[in-house]
Structure 1
Amino acid sequence: MKILHVITSLELGGAEKLLLDLIPAQKKQGIDVELLVLDLNGEVFLDEYKKRGIKIHVPEVNNKKSYKNIFQIAKIIKEGKYDVVHTHLVHSQIWVSLARYIAKEPIYMTTEHSTHNRRRESSIFKILDKFIYSAYEKIITISEATARELINWTGVSLKKIEIVSNGVSLRSFMGKARERKGNKIIMVSRFHKSKDHITVLRALAKLPKEYTVTFVGEGETEESVKREALMLNLGDRVQFLGYSNSVAALLKRHDIAIQSSNFEGFGISALEAMASGTPIIATNVEGLANVVDGAGLLFELGNVQDLVDKIRLLEDPSFYFQKSKDGIKNSLKYSIETTAKKYIEIYKGE
């Protein structure tokens, strides 16, 4: 069986990180897998994909917004003679849904990675989305919340939907339950409207001065978050590290991980923190809460004092150790090998 994953870009994001582990895991299970990236501008993962021996195709236009993608995608699909074409993120979903009218042979599938996006703020896009999703034989969603929101938005049939939780390469992150050694907080997340870095900063301003925060990631809202840090006089307590390919090591050097999100389909960064043994505090929003609940702590969206209270709960040594242990145990349910196997079963119609 030969599979082509198609993704919009290799910018910092959950879907991009997922495929970085998913494709090698599928290859280990005997599947011939390649990747088509529509736009390499702003990429941060390209070298990592190459290191893992993943064959990458890029349309000549190298522009996610160009209609020429339709014809160039169709050409790559025809020449590759794939059995399944599997898309991720909106631009790839759009252009592949049109390219399939030219390259008709493969089975077409897509994964929905979030419970919300800006298109769902306008009813005009509902018609477009109904057309896009109708082009796919199967729609894989990463959580029940993601499936429910997609059905509510597009009216797509439940028969077309399969739910497959994201996974991570546990061996890369796995740690032992540990005791707290300091007050270092870390948040690994792109700077995007879906994330809520500001609440983390405002919570830090209420915490004792021994507490620090490290933000790992890049993105469009980074400058506004930096301005907020200056306004709150937190310059010496906040580090903006940018993109890093050493997340596992960074998690183990910090004491608490926070995933503060306005909306989230799943929460790979939260899962990575749990696997590393770093206690996780996350926003109580669907998708993210389903992964963290019971294994970490949840705080109300935008509630600064609630986040402060949850952080200070972890000052208790025995409670901290228990949450570290709970996170590791919970992460074992989300191995990338299990995710890869479930995807392959769907490809084969099992």
Structure 2
Amino acid sequence: MMKILHCIGSFFNGGAETLLVNLANEQVENGYDVHIMIVTTKWDKKLLEQLNHQIKISFVNKPIKSKNPYYLLKLLYKYHRIAPDILHLHGPSLAKIIFYKPKKEKRFVTLHNEVMDMPYSKTVDSYIAISSCVKDAFKKKTGHDNCVICYNGIDFSKIKKKDYYLATPRRMLCIARVLFETKAQDMVVKAYSLLPQNIKDNLTLDFWGDGPDLPKLRECINALHLESKLHALGNKENDYVNQHLSEYDIIIQASHHEGLGLCAIEAMGAKVPLILSKAAGFVEVSENGTYAGTFDCGSAQSLSKAIENVYNNYTEACNKACKAYEMALRKYSIIQYTEQLSKIYKDY
């Protein structure tokens, strides 16, 4: 039985972590011996509970930013005890930490966005980009070509589908980690404030997600006196997200940059109309606006116009969402992702 070790820095609600949960569970179902090693103390018990009980979990519990060599030795000790056939690293810096590579081992690194640091290691058999824009960034930053694309996979069977559309949308959702410099929730608030009054009278906006800027998000809402229409609701667990996405009429993703966008694909899986920024990953997943409304990154005015357009042409947006759902099933299923990843494992 092939032994796979996934190593990840942290393990809380996020795109990389959600992908790893789905991947590891599918790999166990396919007969692999799967291990996960979490490096830092930043992990969520409820997310761990979503993993198949056959998956073995190892904790290094390194405090964030700690440089104590004890934790390096602890990580290396656990790694050598597991002795995997496949070491799959979910972050390029980990390849520099686990610097020794046994002859029998194959080693892979998943790159989750195009703006991350990409230190190159000769011990890696292949880097795995989640999209074309991430692969292009890898080539530009490292000068190397050993990188393949493997699109993220979603377990669409877990997502409740929207089965009824209103004539006019009433509820919008923005879902992302609350971090203004990357996810742009402050700009979303500004965009809502620019909407015509008749639309604001009929359209609410919820924010799902935790993060360092959550208090500032609530301050932004209060400063514009929008607290009756805009609600910062904090973190929502994956099961809740899967069951309640379909209750919304429009989902907004406003990132300044994005490697691909799991939340956008999940929204497609729920058959909800999407409005996406023109971040490279969103352009790719929406096929340049074929499957979603789009707006210029960082522009509140452009987003406001996009919301107004979807509001006034909602039937067209719903038809686009149904087509997006069919495309996502073909291109981004967890089964297809796992099969493609298994082929990558074998080819190197």
For 2:347, the equivalent position in structure 1 comes to: 349
1:76 maps onto 2:78 in alignment = yes
How far apart, in 1, do the equivalents of 2:178 and 2:218 lie? 11
Pick aligned residue for 1:329 from 311, 314, 326 = 326
Pick aligned residue for 1:187 from 174, 193, 198 = 174
Deviation at 1:105, TM superposition (A): 4.7
Q: 1:225 to 1:101 in 2, by over 3 A?
A: same
| TM alignment of 1:271-310, pairs within 5 A | 271-292=265-286, 293-310=289-306
Q: 1:286 to 1:177 in 2, by over 3 A?
A: farther
How far apart, in 2, do the equivalents of 1:60 and 1:21 lie? 23
For 1:87, the equivalent position in structure 2 comes to: 89
Deviation at 1:13, TM superposition (A): 1.8
How far apart, in 2, do the equivalents of 1:226 and 1:219 lie? 12
1:33 maps onto 2:34 in alignment = yes
How far apart, in 1, do the equivalents of 2:263 and 2:182 lie? 14
Deviation at 1:320, TM superposition (A): 3.0
Deviation at 1:23, TM superposition (A): 0.7
1:265 maps onto 2:259 in alignment = yes
For each residue in 1:35-88, what CA deviation from the matched residue of structure 2 results, as whole angstroms up to 9, or x when unmatched?
A: 100113353653434466532100254556434343222212221121011111
For 2:47, the equivalent position in structure 1 comes to: 46
Deviation at 1:176, TM superposition (A): 4.8
How far apart, in 1, do the equivalents of 2:303 and 2:62 lie? 45
For each residue in 1:162-214, what CA deviation from the matched residue of structure 2 results, as whole angstroms up to 9, or x when unmatched?
A: 10000110111252564236421111111123211112111211232321111
Q: How many residues align?
A: 334
Deviation at 1:11, TM superposition (A): 2.5
* RMSD between superposed Cα atoms in Å: 2.2
Q: 1:68 to 1:209 in 2, by over 3 A?
A: farther
How far apart, in 2, do the equivalents of 1:134 and 1:201 lie? 45
For 2:151, the equivalent position in structure 1 comes to: 165
For 2:16, the equivalent position in structure 1 comes to: 15
How far apart, in 2, do the equivalents of 1:261 and 1:32 lie? 36
Pick aligned residue for 1:313 from 302, 309, 312 = 309
How far apart, in 1, do the equivalents of 2:204 and 2:101 lie? 54
For 1:111, the equivalent position in structure 2 comes to: 110
Deviation at 1:240, TM superposition (A): 1.6
**3-state SS of the aligned residue for 1:294?**
coil
How far apart, in 2, do the equivalents of 1:52 and 1:244 lie? 23
- Unaligned 5+ segments in structure 2 are none
How far apart, in 2, do the equivalents of 1:11 and 1:179 lie? 33
| TM alignment of 1:103-252, pairs within 5 A | 105-117=104-116, 119=117, 129-130=118-119, 132-156=120-144, 158=145, 160-173=146-159, 175-176=161-162, 178-180=164-166, 182-192=169-179, 193-207=181-195, 208-245=200-237, 246-252=240-246
The residue type equivalent to 2:337 in the other structure is T
Deviation at 1:27, TM superposition (A): 1.6
For each residue in 1:200-254, what CA deviation from the matched residue of structure 2 results, as whole angstroms up to 9, or x when unmatched?
A: 1112112323211111111122222222111111112121221112112221111
Deviation at 1:255, TM superposition (A): 0.7
Deviation at 1:94, TM superposition (A): 2.7
How far apart, in 2, do the equivalents of 1:134 and 1:45 lie? 36
For 1:124, the equivalent position in structure 2 comes to: none
How far apart, in 2, do the equivalents of 1:65 and 1:323 lie? 48
TM-score normalised by length of structure 1: 0.88
**3-state SS of the aligned residue for 1:236?**
coil
The residue type equivalent to 1:143 in the other structure is S
**3-state SS of the aligned residue for 2:258?**
coil
How far apart, in 1, do the equivalents of 2:175 and 2:327 lie? 19
**3-state SS of the aligned residue for 1:194?**
helix
| Identical amino acids, percent of aligned pairs | 25
The residue type equivalent to 1:73 in the other structure is L
Q: 1:321 to 1:235 in 2, by over 3 A?
A: same
- Unaligned 5+ segments in structure 1 are 120-128
Residues 11, 43 of structure 1: 8 Å contact kept: yes
